[in-house]
Every structure is written in C-alpha cells, then in structure tokens.
Structure 1
Amino acid sequence: MRCCTLLLLLLLCGAAQARGLENRAAPALHATTLDGSSYSLAAHRGELVIVNFWASWCAPCQEELPAFEAYYRAHRDEGLSVLAINTDDPEQLDKVRHIAAQYSFPTALIAQLQAPGYGRIWRLPISFVIDRDGVLRFDGGAGQRKLWDLPSLEQELRPLLQATAAPTR
C-alpha cells in the first residue's frame, strides 16, 4: 500500500510540474521560418501569440490549421500573432511548404526552433497561448489537450485579445 501511495504522489508531483508553466512568463522561443525570417517571441510582446505544433500526417492538425487561419485573418489587426511549428522529418519539406502556403501566418520547422522551455513535444497537435504581457495562458503540453475550432478560439481567446498589455517600466 505504501508503494502505491508513493507512486501516486510521484505522479501527482510530475503532473504539477508539467502544469507549472501556465500563468508564468512564457519561456523564450526563437525560430527561423520557412521564408528565412527570424521569429522571436520577445519581439511579439504586446501581442496575443498562438504557437501551434503540427504535422502533415496529423488529421486533427489539418482540422485545426484552417481555424487558426480564419481567426488570425479576423484578428491580426488587433494584435494576434500565430506561429506554426511543423514537426515532420526534413524529407517532407516540399509537402510542408505546400501545406504552409495555404496559411498567411509564419511556419517554422521544429529543427529550426530554439524553445527548450516548452518541453518535449510528444503528441500533436499541441498549442501554447501567450498573452500580451508574455504570460503563458494555455499550455497544451501539460495535459490540456484541445482541438481548437473557431467557436473555442473566440470563446477562450477573445478576452485575452481584448486585454491590453501592462505598461512596461
């Protein structure tokens, strides 16, 4: 019995650690996009940022990307930024470029990403939402698996989009 209790405590502590990123400053993120541009999360401070990890073979990813595109087109002038990170093997670059060409937000390959603070991406799709103050508000890697669609984006992100960033000192 003691062994099971200890195991349960370890599992709960691990889950608590995984959720530890949410409502804290988002870890740094730097990427080179498919067009060769540099993307830095710090450069998007003051914007609401969605970072989405996807793959060409992932059916839920293919359902979600058009919702991000529609929401981005509707709200980019209000300070919404989307960065799509593709996790395919480098041999799939042509396929990735073909899919990414359908979207107006930038796409980067996971091999061109520096974001160690986000943990291991072990399932897809995974999204992170960072508010205008640089605080991680949704940590899709910590058990909050969610397939985003337009209604859920509107419901959950609209308040964050309407919030203004705190003045910098």
Structure 2
Amino acid sequence: MSSKVFASLALMAWLVCVGEVGSAAAEVILDRAAPSLVLTELNGGTFDLSQKHGKVVLVTYWATWCAPCKKEMPILDSFYRRYRERGLEIIGISADRPQDFAKMRKMSDALAYPTATLDQITDNGFGPPEGFPLTYVVDRDGVIRDKFIDVREQLLRDVVLPLLPP
C-alpha cells in the first residue's frame, strides 16, 4: 500500500473518531440548559439527566473501535474514582453494534462509572453524537458548560474541577 493511500485511510479513520463525519446531531448549545437524556444502563439501572441536578455530569460517547476513545476511558475512569464523592457523575454511552457488545461489556466492566448503549436511550434530546469520542460537561444546575472531543487530565482539572463543590 502506498504511503498516500495509507495516509488517506488514516485520515478518514481519524475524522470518524473525532466527529468530522455525521452531521445529524441535535444542536446542543453551550451555556444553555442540557437537553433531556434518559436511558437504561448496562447494569439495569435508569439514568435520567434531569435527576442529576446538584451534580456535575459528564456525558461521554465512545465505541470499542475508536482508538481515541480507548485512550481517554482510563483518564475518565481515574478522574471519576477521584471525584465522585464530590458530586461527579459520568455516563458512558457506547455506539457499538450488537455483534460487538461482548467486547463493549468487557471494557465497561473495568470502569467505575455506569455505561449504556445508544439503543438503550429512551429520551434523547442530545440527538446522535457528531463523532467519537465526544463528551459534554453539564454543571450542577443542569447547564451545558463545555464539549470535549479529546479528554485529557489537564482539561478535566481546568474545566470540570472548578464546577465541583469544595
């Protein structure tokens, strides 16, 4: 395979992961109330974003086939384990297809925060994700404060920590 063909394929894969493909997403507007989101978690529980007032919530979309997603999941998990006692919530929403659910469940089982699949959403004001990974930051008042396409520890410290109660 020529280096040009390889570079083109690599670019296409990266664009899919970071969200340059797929424009059917609902408009989620920063500094406005978060849209509705109700889903069934893999553990059978119900996640309802409207019931999370008073907590800072990260809504993160991922997939097992997305290399950047797999890179950021341990960062999110570590951050959640450190700050959940201060009111941090995370819901991980997988875009994996049914044939990949076993792999997705194995990855989900290693996480401290709950996960779900796109097909388990019953009320989705966010619409389909623009790409993967994608994380929305919702403050304690239920307002969208930021949107990340690449979660890094420093970004979490700079943006999310100030939203948590002391």
Runs of 4+ off more than 6 Å: none
The answer as to 2:139 corresponding to 1:131 is yes
Percent of residue pairs identical: 35
* Whole-angstrom distance in 1 between the partners of 2:127 and 2:118: 13
* Whole-angstrom distance in 1 between the partners of 2:165 and 2:152: 19
**Highest Rg: 1 or 2?**
1
Structure 1 segment 150-169 matched on structure 2, within 5 A: 150-162=153-165
TM-score by length of 2: 0.80
Q: Among residues 124, 129, 137, which one is paired with 1:121 in the alignment?
A: 129
User: Retained in 1: the 8 A contact 2:37–2:48?
Assistant: yes
TM-score by length of 1: 0.78
The answer as to 2:38 corresponding to 1:30 is yes
**1:92 shift after superposition:** 1.1
**1:139 shift after superposition:** 3.3
**1:115 shift after superposition:** 4.3
Aligned residue type for 2:52: H
Aligned residue type for 2:74: P
Q: Among residues 54, 77, 87, which one is paired with 2:62 in the alignment?
A: 54
1:114/1:137 Cα in 2 relative to 1: closer, same or farther (>3 Å)? Answer: farther
* Whole-angstrom distance in 2 between the partners of 1:122 and 1:90: 20
**1:60 shift after superposition:** 0.3
* Whole-angstrom distance in 1 between the partners of 2:124 and 2:83: 29
Q: Among residues 81, 87, 95, which one is paired with 2:89 in the alignment?
A: 81
**1:114 shift after superposition:** 3.1
* Whole-angstrom distance in 2 between the partners of 1:22 and 1:162: 21
* Whole-angstrom distance in 1 between the partners of 2:146 and 2:32: 10
CA-to-partner distance for each residue in 1:81-108, whole Å, 9 max, x for gaps? 0000000001211111100011010000
Q: Unpaired segments of 5 or more residues in structure 2?
A: 1-25
User: Retained in 2: the 8 A contact 1:34–1:106?
Assistant: yes
User: Retained in 2: the 8 A contact 1:21–1:139?
Assistant: no
**1:155 shift after superposition:** 1.2
* Whole-angstrom distance in 2 between the partners of 1:54 and 1:118: 15
**1:122 shift after superposition:** 3.2
* Whole-angstrom distance in 2 between the partners of 1:38 and 1:72: 19
* Whole-angstrom distance in 1 between the partners of 2:163 and 2:47: 21
Q: Which residue does the alignment assign to 2:113? A: 105
Larger RCO, structure (CA 8 Å, separation 6 or more) = 2
Q: Unpaired segments of 5 or more residues in structure 1?
A: 1-16, 141-145, 164-169
User: Retained in 1: the 8 A contact 2:38–2:124?
Assistant: no
